[in-house]
Amino acid sequence: MSENPTNNLSIAVLGGGSWATALVKMFLENTEDVHWYMRSQESIDYLLEHGHNPKYLSGVQFDVNRLDLTADINRAVGQADIVVMAIPSAFLQKELDQLTSSMEDKWVFSAIKGIVPQSGLIVGEHLHKEYGLPLDQIGVITGPCHAEEVALERLSFLTIACTDQEKAAYLADQISSHYLKTKLSDDIVGTEYAAMLKNIYAIAAGMGHGLGYGDNYQSVLMSNAIREMKRFIALVHKMKRNINHTAYLGDLLVTGYSVFSRNRMFGNMIGKGYTVKSAMMEMNMVAEGYYAVESAFQLIKNKGKEPKKAFPIISSVYQVLYDHKNPKKVFKKLSDVLD
């Protein structure tokens, strides 16, 4: 692949869910065609016949002549210059295990908001350490942005992070449109951790709502969450950043408050008394924050910090989801330490 970002580079999107579907829609605003890997051949066949994803964002109609749909991840990666990953983090490694096509000359952008369970790393770090991808070939696509609002072409915002700002600018051009505005960042680690953490805090917000707490409580919870996020990111990657930027605070707020947020929905169900298994079965979608909180909790301990004292919101979500403690009792204790 040419290193000149002005060339017309081919793009592959990996994933068949709502966010992958939204990304394909965004790229097709500016690019002639997109390579799209979906694991389900049944979904591909349906999309080819009906022009829309049968399970996610079914209102988005595609010109299938502009899509190279494939259930072969190696074909999609092999034909692309830029690979955009939108597979839930819990299932990413299983998909990567099938990969024999080299990524060494690719630009790889993660649109995944979670931690890879097998390594305990965010996706960018996982690709760098486990697959040897240079950091300047890795980028992050992060919010605040809901797939459902992209489908409706409501004004939305994305941050494109990469240490190579020319690569970030190129991808931003390919994804921008009349309903999608972009900003650039060089904080690939911080923005990706923020995207992971906001899902945990959204689960906390949902639990609070399910338990009957009102808007006053939610505002205090979100105020504490952004400060906790700042401490967490500084713990894992110190650099100068403005935590009030949309990639951090903005993404936290939209995920914590929006009715489209699956993590908030998941937390709400837990607060109402659902088990983890029953909540996931009823949602029929992946709540990334469920997997992320275990990794975040362990990372805090590995850094020599006491989760309950240093990161009480993360600790509270962990206690409910993994220690199976009573949400009502846990959140009563949490409310005593919020300020």
Closest residue by Cα to residue 61 from 53, 69, 70, 52: 52
Got the DSSP string for 185-230?
A: ES-HHHHHHHHHHHHHHHHHHHHHHHTT--HHHHHHHHHHHHHHHH
Query: What CATH number has the domain spanning 190-337?
Result: 1.10.1040.10
Max CA distance (Å), the chain: 58
- 25, 106, 167, 198: the active-site residue: 198
**Domain boundaries, given as residue ranges, for the chain:** 11-186, 190-337
On the question of pLDDT at 195 being above 50, the answer is yes
Question: In CATH, what number does 11-186 get?
Answer: 3.40.50.720
Annotated binding site for substrate: 113, 262-263
Q: Which residues are annotated as a binding site?
A: 91, 113, 147, 262-263
**Cα gap 146→160, rounded to integer Å:** 15
Mean pLDDT of the chain: 94
Query: Each residue of 207-249: pLDDT tens digit?
Result: 999 999 999 999 999 999 999 999 999 999 888 899 999 999 9
Contact 258, 286 (CB under 8 A): no
Res 1: pLDDT: 47
Is position 198 annotated as part of the catalytic site?
Answer: yes
What pLDDT, on a 0 to 100 scale, did the predictor assign at position 7? 59
Kindly state the helix (H) or strand (E) to which residue 142 belongs, with its residue range. strand 138-142
Residue 2: pLDDT band (50, 70, 90) is very low
